[in-house]
Amino acid sequence: MMNARKTFRINSLGHLTIGGADCCKLAEQFQTPLYALDEQHIRNMMRVYRNTIDDEYDGHGLVLYASKALCCTAICAIAKQEGIGIDVVSGGELYTAMWAAFPADKIVMHGNNKLPHEIEEALDHRVGMIVLDAYSEADLVDRTAAQRGMVQDVMIRINPGVEAHTHAYVQTATPDSKFGFSVANGSAEAFTAYVLQKKHLRLHGFHCHIGSQIFEKQSFVLAVRKNLAFVDAVKQSLGFEADALNMGGGFGIWYADDDAMIGVEGYRAYLTALLAAIKEECSLRGLRRPFVYLEPGRSVVGEAGITLYTVGAIKEIPSVRKYLAIDGGMFDNPRYALYQSRYTAVLANRAAEQPTELVAIAGKCCESGDLIGTQFHLPKAKEGDLLAVLSTGAYNYSMASNYNRNLIPPVVLVNEGHAEYIVKPQTYEDLVRNDVIPERLK
């Protein structure tokens, strides 16, 4: 498993390395718990998306890094250097991108309930595109743009009736989702007609996001076909021909043994299939080729990251299971608690040893559901061992909390063996910074 990955290697001391750095050294230098990211892996992933659009689609598109997967200023700075765009779903993500001096014209704003102040911020920063997801929102963006004497570029989030899950997809006639307008029941077309009347909105086309952690190429191909059938239908009925198509994100990554390890070439094959379906469907229907947006999040940063913990209390419940407790937990990785996510763990200081036992890894929060998982094959661990949980670059730091007033771990970026903070450690003072004791309680 280890040798299959470029990101994770074991050095001559039997220590796990990331981005050329010894994890034991990282733990010494930065303490645990610690998020570590391999910069080269992130850049390689951004490049494969960008290059495939260049090579297979004449560069007529833009990759948007879905910043919700891992949002901090340094990652925005990397995306900027790599010449890709960013998708944001809140005022806070927008603020982070702007703080990193990200070019606003390459920012796309999403969200199913954008707040008035978020829309004002988006327009004041001149974001390139807003993806509309409600009638009230179309009114609000139109009004806010009118106040500023602007016309805002927009797209519409539709629900093409393809719902993808890891290795399968289902076609749904009436999707039950808080996101998007259904194509099947006519609401997407009705909303399109509504938006087209707005004087301060310039409609470019449609967006869909069919799911996450998807491995099945055909789900994207099917979504492309359904979207372009809708584009064609709207062209016939409303005389509006979309010039842009946003296919969202959702490309799967490796977490554990039964996941595929796609690798850069594998992602290229996915995108090539998706872009080929767009080209083919457009020529079949006599549509002009739309500008294409892709919004990968997880696949850009997920496999690039690991979390390092120190093993603490070990508890064996005879004929039930053995728990290894770590100095982190659901406050830095809530994904098991939320979705029973699977992970792979390694004893980073003994990475060359064969696994000999099956253990559960527990966090330190006051919740019995605070686990990283229950099925980890490890050598017999002892207190003080360094535990690495792999593929934690996406939706870990970005979902972290201060539950139980635990401190959110810092993030280091590793490049050619050198590591530096991109998110500094929190302090106890940070925890009480915004707390107030009213006079009458003193």
E strand segments, 341-404: 345-347, 357-362, 371-378, 386-390
| Shortest distance in whole angstroms from residue 51 CB to ligand PLP | 18
Longest dimension (CA), the chain: 74
Residue 366 known to be catalytic:
yes
* Of the candidates 398, 388, 410, the residue with the CA atom closest to the CA atom of residue 18: 388
Task: Pick the catalytic residue from 76, 208, 365, 366.
Answer: 366
The token pair that represents 380 in the structure block = 């017999």
Closest to ligand PLP by CB, 352 vs 399, is 399
Tell me which residues touch ligand PLP (CB under 6 A).
66, 68-69, 87, 110, 209, 212, 248-251, 295-299
Among 150, 266, 136, 126, smallest CA distance to 199 is for: 150
How many angstroms separate the Cα of 389 from the Cα of each of 17, 269, 293, 308? 13, 28, 32, 7
Closest CB to ligand PLP among residues 49, 376: 49
Q: To the nearest whole angstrom, how small is the minimum distance from the Cβ of residue 366 to ligand PLP?
A: 30
Give me the phi and psi of 259, to 5 degrees please. -85, 150
- Which whole-number Å values give the CA distances from 237 to 181, 194, 294, in the listed order? 17, 13, 27
Nearer to ligand PLP, 80 or 298 (CB): 298
Measured from the CB atom, the residue of 209 and 342 that comes closer to ligand PLP is: 209
Q: Residue 70 CB, nearest distance to ligand PLP (Å)?
A: 10
Q: How far is the CB of 413 from ligand PLP (least distance, A)?
A: 19
Q: What is the CA radius of gyration of the chain?
A: 23
Cα torsion 19, 329, 399, 252: sign: positive
Q: Is 316 helix (H, G, I), strand (E, B) or coil?
A: strand
Give the residue with the Cβ less far from ligand PLP, 90 or 299: 299
Q: Which is nearer to ligand PLP, 162 or 326 (CB)?
A: 162
What is the closest distance, in whole angstroms, from the C-beta atom of residue 407 to ligand PLP in the complex? 26
Match 């990282």 to its residue by tokens: 26
Cβ 384 to ligand PLP, closest distance in Å? 35
Q: Tokens for 385?
A: 């061992």
Dihedral angle sign, alpha carbons of residues 219, 87, 134, 203 = negative
Number of residues assigned to the chain: 442
| Catalytic site positions | 366
